[in-house]
Amino acid sequence: MKLHEYQSKRIFARYGVPIPHGDVASTPDDAYKIAARLGGRVVIKAQVLVGGRGKAGGIKLAQDAAEAEAKASQILGMNIKGLQVRKVLIDEAATDIIKEIYLGITIDRAARRPVMMASAEGGMEIEEVAKAMPERIFKVAIDPFLGLQGYQARELAFGIGLERDLVSSFTKIATGLYNAFVDCDASLAEINPLLVTNQSGGRLSLLAVDGKMIIDDNALFRHSDLAEMRDVDEEAPAETEARCYGLSYVKLDGEIGCMVNGAGLAMATMDIIKLYGGMPANFLDIGGGAQADRVAAALRIILADPKVKAVLFNIFGGITRCDEVAKGILEALEQVSTDVPMVARLVGTNEEEGRHILASAKMATAGSLVEAARKAVELAQAR
Amino acid sequence: MSILVGKDTRLVVQGITGREGEFHTLRMIEYGTNVVAGVTPGKGGGWVNGVPVFDTIREAVAATEANTSIIFVPARFAPDAMYEAADGGISLIVCITEGIPILDMLKVRAYLDQKGVRLIGPNCPGIITPGECKVGIMPAYIHTPGSVGVISRSGTLTYEVVNELSLRGLGQSTCVGIGGDPIIGSDFIDMLTLFEEDPLTEQVVLIGEIGGSDEERAADFIATNMTKPVTAFIAGRTAPPGKRMGHAGAIISGGTGTAAEKVEALEAVGVKVARHPAEIAELVASRK
C-alpha cells in the first residue's frame, strides 16, 4: 500500500526528520487559508500516487496566498496519469538550496537485508541514477537484528561527499528513517530530495521536501492506523471491489478476461493468451475454494470492463474440486447476465462432473490450456 | 533416494487442530507420510486423526523424535512457530502459511541460517517425493515416481506442469514448492544443489516467475555447477511493471525482475525455456 507524500512526511517528522511547514487542502479556499497562515512563498503539490507529478504540471510555486488559491484550483481536479487530483499539499517553499540528495531504504531480496541508499543526485528517480551512474549510489546492508548502526549512516554521508557540519544531522535523519521503516513495516521509505540549504548566518541544514512510503500489505493487521490511510480513490474501482472479496485482480488492456485459481497459473494463462494471438484483459486469482459468491464477484468485475470480448476460466482442481467450481460458475451466471462468450477449462479433481455441469450452460469447454487459449482468442476475434 | 523428504521423514504438524491442519494431516497420512505428532498450544494431550497432540515442539520432539515440521498456523503466529521449530530440534521446516510480513521473514531467515535449519516456503505448497512421502498440500494423485526433479515458486502452476509430466510418463523424483514470497527459506540454487547430488534425479524442471533475481542467479549457478539438464518456464511475460501479481514476490519493480530478463539469462546458459506449461513436458521428454 502506497502512502501519499504528506502522509509519508508526517510519519518521518515523528521520527525527527525535518520537513517543511505545510498542510493538505482539498479546495482552493483551504489552500488560500493554509498559504496565508504559512506566509511567504509556498509550493502546491498534487497528492496522487504516481511518479512524474512535476512534469505533468502537478507541482507549482506561488508567491502569496492569492496565487496559491489560483494554482490550487488549477491542480485540483487535474488528471495525472489516469488519477484525479483530490488533494494538494501546501508547503513552505525552501530557499537558498545548495544541493539535493537522495536517501532511501528498501529490501534487497537477494541480500535478504534492508538496504539504505544515498546519492548526491537527489531529485532524480533512484532507478534512473542506478542505470546511468550506479557508482554514484552508496549502499549499506542492515542486519535486521541490529538495526542501522551509526557508522553505516556516516559511511553514506562521507560517501556522497556531505559537508562535515551536516554529518551528525544526516545520521539522525538516517536513523529516524530506518526506525520509521521498521515501525511501519514498510517495504520502501524514501526522501527525495533531501535538501541542503543555507540558513541565516551561513549555517547549513537539511530538509526533507518530498517523501514516499510503501507499506507491506501483509503487515497491515498490526497497523490499523496505517490501514486507515489507504486512499481508495487512487485505486481502480474494480481493484477495490476485488480486494473486498479477497480476490487478487489487476486490470490490463486486452480483450480476454481470465479467471484462474492460483497466481502462477493465472500469469501463465495470461501469457498463453498472448502466445496465441490475443491479449489478456486482467490478472485474476480466485484463490482456493470456489464459493459461488466469489466466482460471481470475479465474473462481475471481469465483465464490467467494456473491452472484454471473451472470458477464459482455467481451473486446476486439486484440493479445490472442479464440480464445485462449475457450480460456482453456474450460480454466478444466474447473478450476472451476459452474452460474452466463455471457455471453461477444468482439470483435476472431479473434472468430468465439472464439465457435465457446465454443459448445461452452453459454454465452450477445453481439455488443455493450449486448446482453451486458442478457443478464447477465436471467440474474441469473431466479435 | 530423493531430496528433503522420504521414508526417514518423521513429521510434526504445527497447527494440527486448525481446519487446514487437520484436513491436510489426514491427506498426508493417507499418502503414507509418517506423521508422528501435532502441536497446538493448549491442546496437548489430545489426538487428531490418530496423531498425538502436544503443547510445544520440544515435547513433541522428545516424545516422537520428529525431524521435520509443517506449519499451518496463521501469518501473525507463523514466525513464532518457525522459531519454536528451529529451537526445538527440527532440521527441516515447511511453512505453508501465506501473508507473513516481510520484515518478520528477514529475521526468521537470518535466525534459521545461523542455526543451520532448512526452511522451505513460506507461501508454498510444500514438498512431495512421489510414492514415498508428502509434506504439503498438493493433490497427490497427479504425481508419479520417477527421475525429474521439480522446483517452483508457484502452487497450481506446478500441479499443471506435474500433471503434464505424469501424463507423458515422466515421473518425478521430488517436487518442491519454494514459495511465492520475496523472502523465502530456500531458493532455486539450494534446490538445484540437492538435485545435482541426488542419484535418482536425472533432470530438473525450474518454474519461475516475475520479481526478484532468483532465476538469474540460478542461471549463473547452472552454467558452472549443473551437469544435469534443466528445463525452465517463467510465468508473467505479460505482467505489467509495478503491479503485484498475486504472490507477494511477483512484482516487477524499478524495471527489474521482468520475465524477459529471466528467460534471457536462462537461455544464455543453455537452459531450454518453454513458452507455455505443456511445452515443458515436451522439452523434458525430448531429453530422455
Residue among B160, B182, B246 whose CB faces A283 most closely: B246
Q: What is the pLDDT of residue A200?
A: 76
Q: Which of B134, B162, B186, B238 to mutate to test the interface with A (most CBs of A within 10 A)?
A: B238
Kindly state the helix (H) or strand (E) to which residue A173 belongs, with its residue range.
helix A167-183
Is residue B247 annotated as part of the catalytic site, yes or no?
A: yes
DSSP-derived secondary structure letter, A165: G
Q: Is there a contact between B212 and A266 if contact means CB atoms under 8 Å apart? A: no
* pLDDT > 90? residue A364: no
Selecting from A263, A266, A319 the residue whose C-beta is nearest the C-beta of B139 gives A319
Q: First and final CA of chain A: distance in angstroms? A: 38
Using one digit for the tens of pLDDT, what is the confidence trace for B126-157? 999 999 999 999 999 999 999 999 999 999 99
Say yes or no for a CB contact (<8 Å) between B183 and A274.
Answer: no
Flag if A264 and B155 touch (Cβ within 8 Å): yes
Please give the Cα distance from B74 to A366 (Å, whole number).
Answer: 37
DSSP letters along A306-317, please?
TT--EEEEEEEE
Chain A residue with minimum CA distance to B137: A319
Give the residue with greater pLDDT, A328 vs B90: B90
Report chain B's mean pLDDT, rounded to a whole number.
Answer: 95
* Per-residue pLDDT, A290: 61
Instruction: Measure in Å the smallest separation between the Cα of B66 and chain A Cα atoms.
Output: 26
- Which cell numbers hold the place of B148? 525429474
What string of H, E and C letters represents the secondary structure of chain B?
CCCCCCCCCCEEEECCCCHHHHHHHHHHHHHCCCEEEEECCCCCCCEECCEEEECCHHHHHHHHCCCEEEECCCCCCHHHHHHHHHHCCCCEEEECCCCCCHHHHHHHHHHHHHHCCEEECCCCCEEEECCCEEEECCCHHHCCEEEEEEEECCCHHHHHHHHHHHHCCCCEEEEEECCCCCCCCCCHHHHHHHHHHCCCCCEEEEEEECCCCHHHHHHHHHHHHCCCCEEEEEECCCCCCCCCCCCCCCCCECCECCHHHHHHHHHHCCCEEECCHHHHHHHHHHCC
Q: Do A347 and B163 touch (CB under 8 A)?
A: yes
- In angstroms, the separation between the Cα of residue B212 and the nearest Cα of chain A is 6
Do residue A316 and residue B180 have CB atoms under 8 angstroms apart? Answer: no
Give the pLDDT confidence of A181-219 residue by residue, as tens digits: 999 999 999 999 999 999 877 789 999 999 999 999 999
Quick one: pLDDT at residue A245? Answer: 86
CB contact under 8 A, A274 and B237: yes
pLDDT at position A312 over 70:
yes
pLDDT at B252: 84
pLDDT confidence of residue A234 = 78
Average of per-residue pLDDT across B253-269: 92
Question: In this predicted complex, what is the ipTM?
Answer: 0.94
* Chain B residues with CB-CB distance to A248 below 8 A: 245-246
For B137-149, the three-class secondary structure string (H helix, E strand, C coil) is CCCHHHCCEEEEE
- Annotated catalytic residue, options A6, A32, A102, A249: A102
- Nearest-angstrom CA–CA distance, A213 and A280: 30
Give the one of B101, B153, B235 whose C-beta lies nearest to A219's C-beta: B101
The partner residue sitting opposite B245, judged by closest CB among A145, A267, A319, is: A267
Q: What is the distance between the alpha carbons of residues B82 and B104, in angstroms, rounded to a whole number?
A: 11
pLDDT in tens, B85-95: 999 999 999 99
Count of positions (residues) in chain B: 288
Dump pLDDT digits (tens) for B44-101: 999 999 999 999 999 999 999 999 999 999 999 999 999 999 999 999 999 999 999 9
Contacts B209 to A, Cβ<8 Å: 263-264, 267
